[in-house]
Structure 1
Amino acid sequence: MFNHIMVGSNDIERSKRFYDAVLGVLGAAEGFRSPAPTGHQRVFYRHAGNSFGVTQPINGEAACHANGGTIGFKCESAEQVKAFHDVAVAHGGQSIEEPPGLRDGALGPMHLAYVRDPDGNKLCAVYRLPKAG
């Protein structure tokens, strides 16, 4: 359904350090720089057929986060959810909502952790438990 997800940053170097560490937990390689034709700096990550980018806003205004928006990253285990959270916090992210752990959701039980990146973007690490049977 998606080709890529991109968020804005007011400090591309800080964001690269943050996402190199956090997305590295999921197995993504270090982000690669790809300046926009306008000269604005961008960093892209590719992993498991997905693309995620961080960019300086091309319109020259300050980057801001989406109120009500969340970007969910698929994890392979409950331990990876916790590691995603802990690495995010250690690299300038902010833990939000409940502590990482098991939740009962509309789609069944899952392990979740919510953080905000240094620019305020809301990120979720999620591991859905395999269905019994």
Structure 2
Amino acid sequence: MTSEPPVIMAHVSVGTNDFPRARDFYKAVLETVGAKVIMEVDVPGEVSAIAFGKMFPEFWVQTPHDKQKAGVGNGTHFAFLATSKEMVQAFWDKALKMGATPDGAPGPRPHYGEAYYGCFLRDLEGNKIEAMYWGAHDQFET
């Protein structure tokens, strides 16, 4: 067993122009892939932020620190790991119910690999989000 974590990313952040709405959206949607609220930050006049993860804050939703309007990164998307095709479907269904826009229905994506199954949506700000199940990921189970 190694002492190094099996990941390279500590966290990512996405900006929002409507923090309460984005907070509610991500609380509902990320619950479908087993994520929970790890922490919230509210510094009046400075920043409002919420962090999601399973054990530590991996995905942040926040008002921009520079107080400018949040924008969408062209070519950027955030993928959340699902442990089943059913979990991908639940993510899709909940995101649509919460106001997301479809950008690729749940299904296999053989061009990404035979084991790949996912869905793509646009969140309330237009950021591209994904839930993906990697059928070969069972090797990571303990």
Q: Say whether the fold is shared (TM-score over 0.5).
A: yes
1:112 aligns with one of 98, 113, 118: 118
Task: Please tell me the root mean square deviation across aligned C-alpha atoms, in Å.
Answer: 1.9
Q: Which residue of 2 aligns with 1:87?
A: 94
Residues 5-62 of structure 1 deviation map (CA, whole Å, 9 limit, x = unaligned):
1000000000011000011001122464212596311111121556110110111111
Number of the residue aligned with 1:16? 23
Between the aligned residues of both structures, percent identity stands at: 30
> Normalising by structure 1, what TM-score?
0.88
Q: 2:71 aligns with which of 57, 64, 69?
A: 64
Letter matched to residue 64 of structure 1? G
Q: What is the rounded CA distance, in whole Å, between the counterparts of 1:29 and 1:102 in structure 2?
A: 27
Structure 1 stretch displaced more, 48-57 or 9-18: 48-57
Higher RCO (CA 8 Å, separation ≥ 6 residues): 1
Q: CA deviation at 1:90?
A: 0.4
Unaligned runs of 5+ in 1: none
2:130 maps to 1:130: no
The answer (yes or no) to whether the contact 1:103–1:112 under 8 Å persists in 2 is yes
- Residue in 2 aligned with 1:54? 61
Could you tell me whether the CA contact under 8 Å between 1:38 and 1:58 is conserved in 2?
Answer: no
2-side partners of 1:31 and 1:50: how far apart? 6
* More helix, by proportion: 2
Q: Distance in 2 between matches of 1:48 and 1:58?
A: 25
Aligned to 2:140: none
Change over 3 Å in CA distance of 1:93–1:31 after alignment to 2: farther
Gaps of 5+ in 2: 1-7, 138-142
Flag the structure with higher strand content: 1
Q: TM-score, normalising length from structure 2?
A: 0.83
